[in-house]
């Protein structure tokens, strides 16, 4: 029998299919490419795979604009390939979760094609139509309203014009979505990652975009009508969640979702009140405070996700680590810091080998619609080219979307023809092949972290306690379960740093994992080397 909360003990691997592996030489990753690499994911030890959208789509936003939820995009393969993938995962004990993008569809979806035909079309109210736009804005820039000449009204789109927002107040929309979800559940998937789910309760006439008043009623209804009794992993993407809001989604008694992605830590290196393109240096104390707040808020009910990366975020080693001489050490430090915490860890493709930003010089090498829109808007607003490109090299979503680096062959082994997006030229050194050949690689560090989590319940269940909050360079915390303890000590920077720990109560101490040889076990005065990170087991 499957346990109700199996996902608390799982580690998820996220795949962005377009950039994973091209099996049929068209320069685009595909489902058969994923099947070829399932043994690799199994070797890493992840037991859940989150697949970004592979549904039929005009690909204006790389599949987050869906024109048919029950068909596979031709560029990715066929429904037969998809069923094969589900099956091949199953034989390896890997659960597959799919992206659920139901705040909006593509403008090519038959519902929208109908909806825009006339004001009295049966599908008119599947979307949000108004006579006049209001002040709401699109997350991709500009107004959230697009004028449609055929009926003389405006429709709502919180993303691109080609992604009209569904009207969740319409019970027929909700029924259609639940029906589609059940279609996929019956195919044998194990859960959903829910795209911008905090927007479905929108009340545009009152200017409400996120966290609308009916949001949680809809999720309860969805839970009852689809996955509720099935013990699936459900994770909501919620950019605006506070811990209080996180509990509304994930507290067991509320019967909504398993957990959410909480983005508060991801906003710590932008200027307050401004967009993430407006950069600010991370303050380690801010990171400690925010991570600790989330860890402690979910100590006894609800659940946390743990992630540094996804397909929308900069790569962590280039962001808060060191993508120069300390790339491997800092990648392992960041992995240790996160995977020692309580929650379900998510690893984004390439993170496990320490992939970095490519820092391309030209805007033409950043095809993402969000980046392209921002570039044009900021050029028009008088920003310098240099300043804009710097923000892009640090924060653009495409930093995470360069093709996966498998080996030293042309295009990093991703494809034998020219890929849809340029490969990071550092694939000659940073690649899976080299990682697998080196027992000290970033890959094996992740493998060990996953194995430890599977082996020791304290990783899942232990409480969390921050140590030495005001230490400017070291992030250290404890996990406690009964008479067992873990101590995690991480030097966040390139300078060596001293950490002091009272050994008075310690009977027995040993190193479970370190990113250096010979980390000390006498910690009265522990001088950490650059980016040194150690997990101790203490009794
Ligand atoms: O992202 C939600 C979202 O708001 C992002 O666009 C975010 O604001 C941006 O990436 C800043 O980091 C989800 C998907 O993950 C994203 O890929 C889609 O483009 C978007 O929804 C629309 O479906
Ligand atoms: Ca292909």
For residue range 375-423, what is the model confidence (pLDDT) as tens digits? 999 999 999 999 999 999 999 999 999 999 999 999 999 999 999 999 9
Mean pLDDT (the chain) is 98
**Ligand found nearest the CA of 65:** 1
Is residue 365 part of the annotated active site? The answer reads: no
pLDDT greater than 90 at residue 82 = yes
The pTM of the full predicted model, rounded to 2 decimals, is: 0.98
Asked if residue 201 and residue 81 are part of one domain, the reply reads no
Pair (505, 526) in one structural domain: yes
Q: Is residue 394 part of a domain?
A: no
320 pLDDT band, cuts 50/70/90, is very high
User: Number of folded domains in the chain?
Assistant: 4
φ and ψ of 448, to 5 deg? -70, -40
Euclidean distance between CA atoms 453 and 479, whole angstroms: 13
Quickly state the pLDDT bin for 2 (edges 50, 70, 90). confident
Q: Is 195 in the pocket of ligand 1 (CB under 6 A)?
A: yes
* Residue 243 in domain: yes
CA distance 107 to 483: 58
Q: What are phi and psi of 474, to 5 degrees?
A: -110, 130
Does 237 qualify as catalytic in the annotation? Answer: yes
- Choose one of 247, 281, 315: the last residue of a domain: 281
State in Å, rounded, how far the first CA of the chain is from the last one.
34
Whole-angstrom CA distances from 159 to 18, 139, 244 are 20, 5, 26
210, part of any domain: yes
Same domain, 437 and 346: yes
Using a CB cutoff of 5 Å, list residues around ligand 2, an ion: 22, 24, 26, 28, 30
Instruction: Give the pLDDT of residue 226.
Output: 98
Strand 533-538 to 484-491 pairing: antiparallel
Of 455, 477, 492, the position where a domain reaches its end is 455
What is the CATH classification number for the domain harbouring 123? 3.90.400.10
In a domain, 396, yes or no: no
Whether the CB of 61 sits within 6 Å of ligand 1: yes
Which tens digits make up the pLDDT trace of 446-480?
A: 999 999 999 999 999 999 999 999 999 999 999 99
Query: Which numbered atom of ligand 1 lies nearest the CA of 395?
Result: 12
Beta sheet of 259-262, edge-to-edge order: 259-262, 233-238, 191-194, 95-100, 48-51, 12-15, 344-348, 305-306
**Residues 316, 308 contacting (CB under 8 angstroms):** yes
CATH of the domain at 514: 2.60.40.1180
From the list 237, 256, 269, 351, the catalytic residue is 237
Instruction: Indicate whether 409 and 342 sit together in one domain.
Output: yes
H or E element that contains 219: helix 215-225
Is 90 exceeded by the pLDDT of residue 521? yes
**Domain assignment of residue 211, yes or no:** yes
* Interatomic CA distance for residues 22 and 404, integer angstroms: 10
Q: Is the CB of 398 under 6 A from ligand 1?
A: no
Q: What Å distances lie between residue 512 and 51, 239, 244, CA to CA? A: 32, 34, 34
- Element at 68 (helix H, strand E): strand 68-72
Residues whose CB is less than 8 angstroms from the CB of residue 148 and which lie 6 or more positions away in sequence, other chains included: 116, 154, 155
Can you give the three-state secondary structure of 253-307, one letter per residue? HHCCCCEEEECHHHHCCECCCCCCCCECCCCHHHHHHHHHHHHHHCCCCCCEEEC
Q: How far is Cα 165 from Cα 502, in angstroms, rounded to an integer? A: 56
Q: Whole domain around residue 530: which residue ranges? A: 461-538
Q: Is 159 in the pocket of ligand 1 (CB under 6 A)?
A: yes
d(C-alpha 56, C-alpha 123), whole Å: 20
Whole-number percent of the chain with pLDDT over 90: 99
Confidence of residue 1 (pLDDT cuts 50, 70, 90): confident
pLDDT in tens, 87-145: 999 999 999 999 999 999 999 999 999 999 999 999 999 999 999 999 999 999 999 99
85 with 31, same domain? yes
């Amino acid at each position: 029998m499957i346990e109700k909360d199996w996902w608390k003990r799982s580690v998820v691997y996220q795949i962005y299919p377009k950039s994973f592996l091209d099996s049929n030489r068209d320069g685009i990753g595909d489902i058969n490419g994923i099947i070829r690499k399932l043994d690799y994911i199994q070797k890493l030890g992840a037991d859940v795979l989150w697949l970004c959208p592979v549904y039929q789509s005009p690909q204006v936003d790389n599949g987050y604009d869906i024109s048919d939820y029950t068909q596979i995009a031709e560029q990715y393969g066929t429904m037969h390939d998809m069923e094969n993938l589900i099956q091949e995962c199953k034989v390896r004990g890997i659960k597959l979760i799919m992206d659920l993008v139901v705040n909006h569809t593509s403008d090519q979806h038959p519902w929208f094609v109908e909806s825009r035909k006339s004001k009295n079309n049966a599908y008119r109210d599947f979307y949000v139509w108004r006579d006049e736009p209001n002040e709401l804005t699109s997350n991709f820039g500009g107004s959230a309203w697009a004028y449609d000449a055929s009926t003389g009204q405006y429709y709502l789109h919180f993303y691109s014009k080609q992604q009209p927002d569904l009207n969740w107040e319409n019970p027929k929309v909700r029924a259609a979505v639940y029906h589609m979800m059940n279609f996929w559940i019956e195919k044998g998937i194990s859960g959903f990652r829910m795209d911008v789910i905090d927007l479905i309760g929108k009340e545009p006439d009152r200017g409400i975009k996120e966290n609308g008043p009916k949001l949680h009623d809809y999720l309860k209804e969805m839970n009852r009508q689809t996955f509720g009794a099935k013990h699936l992993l459900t994770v909501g993407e919620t950019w605006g969640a506070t811990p209080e809001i996180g509990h509304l989604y994930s507290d067991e008694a509320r019967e909504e979702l398993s957990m959410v992605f909480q983005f508060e830590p991801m906003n710590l290196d932008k200027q307050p009140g401004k967009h993430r393109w407006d950069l600010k240096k991370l303050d380690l104390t801010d990171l400690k405070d925010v991570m600790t707040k989330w860890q402690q808020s979910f100590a006894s009910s609800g659940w946390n996700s743990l992630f540094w990366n996804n397909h929308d975020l900069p790569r962590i080693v280039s962001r808060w680590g060191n993508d120069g001489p300390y790339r491997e050490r800092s990648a392992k430090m960041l992995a240790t810091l996160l995977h020692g915490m309580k929650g379900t860890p998510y690893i984004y493709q390439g993170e496990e080998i320490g992939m970095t930003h490519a820092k391309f010089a030209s805007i033409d090498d950043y095809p993402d619609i969000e980046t392209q829109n921002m570039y044009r808007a900021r050029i028009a607003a008088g920003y310098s080219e240099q300043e804009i490109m710097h923000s892009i090299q640090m924060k653009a979503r495409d930093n995470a979307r360069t093709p996966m680096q498998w080996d030293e062959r042309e295009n990093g082994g991703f494809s034998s023809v020219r890929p849809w997006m340029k490969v990071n030229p550092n694939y000659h050194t940073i690649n899976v092949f080299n990682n697998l050949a080196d027992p000290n690689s970033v890959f094996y560090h992740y493998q060990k972290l996953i194995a430890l989590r599977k082996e020791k319940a304290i990783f899942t269940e232990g409480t969390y306690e921050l140590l030495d909050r005001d230490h400017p360079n070291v992030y250290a915390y404890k996990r406690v379960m009964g008479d067992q303890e873990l101590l995690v000590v991480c030097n966040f920077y390139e300078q060596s740093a001293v950490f002091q720990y009272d050994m008075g109560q310690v009977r027995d101490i040993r190193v479970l994992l370190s990113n250096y040889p010979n980390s000390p076990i006498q910690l009265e005065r522990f001088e950490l080397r650059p980016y040194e990170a150690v997990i101790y087991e203490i009794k």
